[in-house]
Amino acid sequence: MRCLKDLNPKQLEAVQFFDRNSMVFAGPGTGKTRVITSRIAYMLESGKLPEARRILAITFTNKASNEMKSRVAAFGVDQKRVRIGTFHNFCMWVLKAYGDKINLSREFTFISSNQQLHLLKQVAKDANLMMKPNDLKNRISDLKNSSVDFEDYLNKTRSGTQEFQVAAADYQNRLYAHKLIDYDDAILHTATIFKLKPSILELYHNAFPYILVDEMQDTNRMQLELIRLLGGNAKHVMAVADDDQSIYGWRGALPTVIQEYIDLLAADKIILNQNYRSPQRVLDVANRLIQFNDGRTEKELVGRPNELGDDVIGRWFDTWKEEAEWVADKIVELHSAGMEYRQMIILYRSRHPSLKVIDEKLLEKGIPFQHFGKNFQNKKQLLSEFIVASMKLIADPNNEVVLSALIYAFAQRFELNDDFDLYEYYKKDSDRLTLDRLAQIHVEDEIDDAVQRTAEFCLSAKDLKSFAKLYDGLYKALNIEEDLAKYDETTRHEEKRHLDLMRDRMSKSVASTITDMLAEIELQDDSNHIDQRMNKVGVSTFHTAKGLEYKAVFIIALEDHFVPGRNGGRPDKEQEERRGLYVAITRAESKLFITHANQRTDWNGRIEAVRPSRFIDDMRKREVTES
């Protein structure tokens, strides 16, 4: 069969395993996406999938979901017979269909993180809770992520103070009253429906007899419960995971979830350790490092035969400046030898002031580079947020939470003092603030003007049929162009790209209502998408580089309190830190460079003596050439 061609024995086993639920342990570069797509193709070609049934493939990130979609398409698979999506995308779909069973409005949309913070601020204030909005948000999210359904979550909130319980309940009530859900609710509500209404779950069992889960190590307890429910008794769930690449423990994705999956679903283990990405010398370093972790599933990575590769180079410097200088020189050297800038990446554990020197040296040597992740401005997405919030108001003009979030966004945009309550200011002595009222305010300044014009547009836009026209209208009414002009070049470019992408998605959406379209759009945020067309050296954290691969990888600042990070000294955290470094190492397709310095500047710019990372000893063997 065509779809089984070129698979190694272990991959073949994974593709054709149907006796029980399974957990495929896929080390880095072992072709896990290949296995998933081949399995999908195999189920269709072999007729294993009954007519009129579909395969459900769930990923955690949009990036992984898009990747899987295009790989499956490249295989020539009939797209109609497989549903590929993120956890949230799948749950949204279920909730749009059956949310009414738990009294969730069909009209729900997702609360944005700005809106959420704003709401939590109010909620905390009303409950007399002395907690920062962000802490409250994380606390609620942690509790949800470790819960198996909504009742379980409510029970867990009882561990908090009286004030916390009040705030948490109030938060949930206000979301409910304003047809909003947060990201965690999407999963929790779905699991709750499946538990309360077994007949609905049954429909999904029928529709999707086979289930695939990607990157299970990034999954938390709440998501595991959803998978367990969807799997039912069919024993046809296959999850793919790498416990050694589990680096998101702080948001509930602990390696223990993998073991829980195996226990709960009585899953068989299949191990993929044939690596197709890195030379053996790189793999040796990775293997040696990771074996110091406890409780892992052993999967010593084996490279392609006869591809020992170059020595892994370890270089230790006196100062952070020499380190950066050396890295930059090496990049120049590789580039003159024909390696493209885009094939190289510099990796570090966390942002730290002393890493500025990397930028300086790269600039000095005329090397184009690109930072990955959100290290630019936090203003990002503020502009698109206006558009989304305004559209929600067009669809639901009486939604006060959305309205207050929009006003709050205006306050942010015009950099008003945090103490000044713009919402109260507009509300004045009336009971509640409405769009009508805002449309009639007496215009005294720039802010009034912007708010008034937006309100006016929202009220008049009901008849606009096309999403793109709505977008264009808001773009004008909100004066987006003017705001863009205020930004510096990089931010403007980023914002514009984000806005254009949003417009594009809106115009392509086949949703029948604004709210449905928005729910879709809000799940497709790829503002941190890396533009590979730009031929630039990457500069990234270990985390952001996960899943990517580069010809040359530079791992810098390998010092204690850096790798492992400041809190990583604790034994439990140390293992996750080690996995982070393992992820970094296994990005290398050809050359790997590891560096540290003896001196680095601290937050005050003062020179500080630093110690080499304890992990260097773990990796050290003849493969690391020292000097």
Partner DNA sequence: GACGACAGGGTTTTT
Partner DNA sequence: CCCTGTCGTC
DSSP string covering 164-211:
HHHHHHHHHHHHHHTTEE-HHHHHHHHHHHHHH-HHHHHHHHHH-SEE
Please report whether residue 497 would count as binding DNA according to CB under 7 A. no
CB of 183 to DNA, least distance (A): 3
Are 124 and 131 spatial neighbours (Cβ–Cβ below 8 Å)?
yes
Please report whether residue 508 would count as binding DNA according to CB under 7 A. no
Q: Which of 311, 525, 608, 618 binds DNA (CB under 7 A)?
A: 525
Amino acid (1-letter code) at residue 384: S
Q: Site size for DNA, by CB under 7 A?
A: 39
DSSP string covering 344-388:
EEEEESS--GGGHHHHHHHHHTT--EEE-SS-S-TTTTHHHHHHH
Q: Which of 123, 247, 270, 362 binds DNA (CB under 7 A)?
A: 247
What token pair was written down for 530? Answer: 């890396």
Residues 150 to 179: which contact DNA by CB under 7 A? Answer: none
Q: Which of 350, 370, 491, 509 binds DNA (CB under 7 A)?
A: 350
Residues 6+ apart with CB under 8 A from 304: 275, 276, 280
Residues 259 to 298: which contact DNA by CB under 7 A? Answer: none
* Residue 32 annotated as binding site: yes
Please report whether residue 569 would count as binding DNA according to CB under 7 A. no
Choice between 16 and 524, CB closer to DNA: 524
Single out the segment in contact with DNA by CB under 7 A; choices: 58-66, 318-326, 490-498, 505-513. Answer: 58-66
* Residue 31 annotated as binding site: yes
* Residue 568 annotated as binding site: no
What token pair was written down for 396? Answer: 């639901």
* Residue 338 annotated as binding site: no
Residues 6+ apart with CB under 8 A from 577: 349, 563, 564, 565, 568, 615
Choice between 338 and 605, CB closer to DNA: 605
What token pair was written down for 470? Answer: 């709505």
Angstrom distance (rounded) from CA 507 to CA 515: 14
Please report whether residue 183 would count as binding DNA according to CB under 7 A. yes
Q: Which of 53, 101, 453, 543 binds DNA (CB under 7 A)?
A: 543
Choice between 86 and 278, CB closer to DNA: 86
- N-terminal to C-terminal alpha carbon distance within the chain: 52
Please report whether residue 304 would count as binding DNA according to CB under 7 A. no
Please report whether residue 577 would count as binding DNA according to CB under 7 A. yes
How far is CA 186 from each of CA 108, 147, 254, 503, rounded to the nearest angstrom?
Answer: 10, 13, 20, 25
Q: Which of 159, 306, 604, 627 binds DNA (CB under 7 A)?
A: 604
Report residue 28: phi and psi, to 5°. Answer: -60, 140
Choice between 493 and 566, CB closer to DNA: 566
Q: Which of 21, 30, 38, 62 binds DNA (CB under 7 A)?
A: 62
Please report whether residue 219 would count as binding DNA according to CB under 7 A. no
Q: Which of 251, 497, 508, 611 binds DNA (CB under 7 A)?
A: 251
Q: Which of 88, 174, 413, 536 binds DNA (CB under 7 A)?
A: 88
What token pair was written down for 195? Answer: 């538990």
Please report whether residue 197 would count as binding DNA according to CB under 7 A. no
Please report whether residue 351 would count as binding DNA according to CB under 7 A. yes
Q: Which of 378, 605, 609, 627 binds DNA (CB under 7 A)?
A: 605
Q: Which of 566, 611, 621, 622 binds DNA (CB under 7 A)?
A: 566
* Residue 47 annotated as binding site: no
What token pair was written down for 550? Answer: 């580069």
Angstrom distance (rounded) from CA 123 to CA 175: 11
Three-class DSSP category at 490: helix
Residues 6+ apart with CB under 8 A from 578: 289, 290, 292, 293, 564, 615, 618
Choice between 269 and 351, CB closer to DNA: 351
* Residue 28 annotated as binding site: yes
- Which candidate, 65, 59, 75, 67, places its Cα nearest to that of 3? 75
* Residue 496 annotated as binding site: no
Q: What is the sign of the dihedral through the CA atoms of 433, 437, 439 and 444?
A: negative
* Residue 297 annotated as binding site: no
Binding residues: 26-33
Q: What residues line the site for DNA (CB under 7 A)?
A: 60-63, 86-89, 113, 132, 183-184, 247-248, 250-251, 350-351, 353, 373-374, 523, 525-526, 528, 541, 543-544, 565-568, 573, 577, 580, 602-605
Binding residues for ATP: 26-33
